[in-house]
Amino acid sequence: MHIQKILFVFSLTFIVFKVNSQSVDLFAEKYNGQSSNIITATFKSTRVVNGQSIENVGTGIMDFRISHRFGAISQGSYNLFGLDQATMRIGLDYGITNRLMIGVGRSTYEKQYDGFLKYKIIQQQDGERYIPFGISYVASSIYKTLKDLSTSYVPYASDRFSFAHQILIASKINDFVSVQLTPTLVHYNLVENNTIPNDFKSIGISSRIRLSKRVNVTSEYFHRIDKLAGYYNPLSLGIDIETGGHVFQLHVSNSNGMTERTFINETTGSWAKGDLCFGFNITRAFTIKKPKELRGIKW
């Protein structure tokens, strides 16, 4: 059996088994008197490494994010093992409600602009109304502004767009371990020739392992079901360090792209060849609008 079939079967089995373990209406708005607690901190940030996690920022919270990726370590001492070459992304994420979050960003890699929305469909809960996993939907758009080499074809503005649709299925198994599956579809408005499809499917597997109250180890891997020749599946390993309003994410990856089209489908580095890139994410949260229940309270 191909690995993609195994992953899809595993994800479906995970959902069916968990739902059947308790009789519960996942989409019910009323709890019928049953007590429940929303599970939080499945991951410590809204991103695992490059990919989205099931976490959202809170209502009225603005998350300022700087992501930095150096070049491949395999470049050797002449390029100071990749430190001479770097790309970055600056982003702003905002929580409209506790379930809905939006964000925008700009990457130096291919001079891309991106925007996304993330909505929590189901929230993991414990107590009498037990829901063992959460589900979120993410829709992203990416606009590539890097000028193409001179050709006879002048692209339309719409040709530079690509889009990603993702379902995030995550479970905080206990205080120390969380896992997430991320079925993904990336659509390119324009591809190089008619032998290349416009749609690319993949599935991501992410995890968080808690080492201490403020330190967690993360991993993120995307298996490409539809593949472009010359590119590799992205694998990233990292450490999250929480310090109050900041979260520092340090990681090593074979990808230095930071949008869904680039880090999932266009990773040129290979772990086997030593094409590893060091990178980090830094976030800082700001309260833009206080929730109604906190208005009038002096902070």
For residue 285, give the amino acid letter.
Answer: A
Instruction: Dig out the tokens for 272 from the structure.
Output: 């086997």
DSSP lists the bridge partners of residue 281 as 67, 249
The predicted model scores a pTM of 0.83
For every residue of 96-114, DSSP letters joined together read SSSSEEEEEEEETGGGEEE
DSSP lists the bridge partners of residue 36 as 127
Cα separation, 166 vs 204, whole angstroms: 10
Cα separation, 207 vs 42, whole angstroms: 9
> Confidence band (pLDDT; 50, 70, 90) for 128?
confident
> Whole-number mean pLDDT of the chain?
85
Q: Which residue has the tokens 């949260």?
A: 285
Q: Which residue has the tokens 């939006």?
A: 102
pLDDT in tens, 241-282: 988 767 899 999 999 889 999 999 999 999 988 899 999 999
Instruction: Dig out the tokens for 32 from the structure.
Output: 């019928």
pLDDT at 9 over 70: no
Of 268, 281, 285, the residue nearest 88 (C-alpha):
281
Mean pLDDT over residues 231-237, rounded?
Answer: 96
pLDDT in tens, 52-97: 999 999 999 999 999 999 988 877 788 787 787 889 999 999 999 9
Mean pLDDT over residues 132-137, rounded?
Answer: 96
Residue 142 burial (C-beta neighbours within 10 Å; 0-12, 13-18, 19+): buried
All domains in the chain, ordered by first residue: 3-289 (2.40.160.40)
Mean pLDDT over residues 177-192, rounded?
Answer: 94
pLDDT at residue 28 in the model: 44
Q: What is the dihedral of CA 70, 71, 74, 80, to 10 degrees?
A: -70
Q: Where are the alpha helices (DSSP H) in the chain?
A: 3-20, 260-265
Number of H helices, E strands in the chain: 2, 14
Cα separation, 264 vs 220, whole angstroms: 11
Of 206, 216, 217, 209, the residue nearest 182 (C-alpha):
206
Mean pLDDT over residues 19-27, rounded?
Answer: 42
pLDDT at 298 over 80: no
Residue 105 in contact with residue 46, Cβ under 8 Å?
Answer: no
Of 196, 195, 205, 200, the residue nearest 265 (C-alpha):
200
pLDDT at residue 222 in the model: 97
pLDDT at 27 over 50: no
DSSP lists the bridge partners of residue 65 as 91, 283
Residue 141 burial (C-beta neighbours within 10 Å; 0-12, 13-18, 19+): middle
Strands 215-224 and 235-243: antiparallel
Cα separation, 282 vs 94, whole angstroms: 16
Cα separation, 107 vs 66, whole angstroms: 10
Cα separation, 50 vs 256, whole angstroms: 9
Mean pLDDT over residues 220-233, rounded?
Answer: 92
- Sign of the alpha-carbon dihedral angle for 252, 254, 257, 260: negative
pLDDT at residue 218 in the model: 97
Lowest mean pLDDT, pick from 137-141, 171-175, 289-293: 289-293
For residue 161, give the amino acid letter.
Answer: F
